[in-house]
Amino acid sequence: MSGEATIFDRIIRGEIPSHKVYEDDHVFAFLDISPLSKGHTLVVPKESKAYLHELSDESAAAIGRALPRLCRAVLKATGATAYNVLQNNGSAAHQAVLHVHFHIIPKFSREGLGIGWHPSSLEGEAGKELAGAIQDALDEASK
Ligand code: 5GP
């Protein structure tokens, strides 16, 4: 799916209007058109990739640099003291726009992100095996 123009590409290019709050060489941020709360902001890499794991290190670093700054600005502008940062990957994970984006969602008493969280438990042997598999994948990727 990556590489196809998305609605966010068109917003970045200025073909579709948005309430822009920030832009640099790699990052664009604007208000969500259907906010869950006042100040709901989307932070988007200019690199057109659908999923977080596809991003270049350069884009990832730029997003990482901009996100906390944008969170501080959203808190200051809205008066919120709590917020969620949400980043969905894949339609099964509630991703609607196939262009990487981070939601900054201020949390007020009623407004904001609702979370369904249903934890299971991690068994010792299975955890050891899984952590090893993830470490192996990281080692493989860095070769
Ligand atoms: P997702 O479910 O993919 O993580 O979230 C996509 C977000 O993009 C939604 O919160 C939706 O309201 C927002 N969105 C979709 N189209 C537009 C648009 O044209 N303009 C703006 N500002 N936000 C959009």
Distance between Cα 47 and ligand 1 center (Å): 17
- Supply the mean pLDDT for the chain: 96
- pLDDT higher than threshold 70 for residue 4: no
Q: Grade residue 6 by pLDDT with cuts at 50, 70 and 90.
A: very high
**pLDDT (0 to 100) of residue 1:** 41
- Average the pLDDT over 134-140 and give the result: 97
Using one digit for the tens of pLDDT, what is the confidence trace for 80-130?
999 999 999 999 999 999 999 999 999 999 999 999 999 999 999 999 999
- pLDDT higher than threshold 90 for residue 2: no
Q: Is ligand 1 within 6 A of the CB of residue 118?
A: no
Q: Is ligand 1 within 6 A of the CB of residue 91?
A: no
Q: Could you give the residue numbers annotated as active site?
A: 101
Q: Is ligand 1 within 6 A of the CB of residue 88?
A: yes
Burial of residue 136 (number of CB atoms within 10 Å: 0-12, 13-18, 19+): exposed
Supply the residue whose CA is at minimum distance from atom 17 of ligand 1: 33
Report the alpha-carbon distance of residue 67 to residue 29 in Å, rounded. 9
How would you list the strands of the sheet with 27-31, edge to edge?
20-23, 27-31, 41-45, 102-107, 82-86
Contact 103/40 with Cβ under 8 angstroms?
A: yes
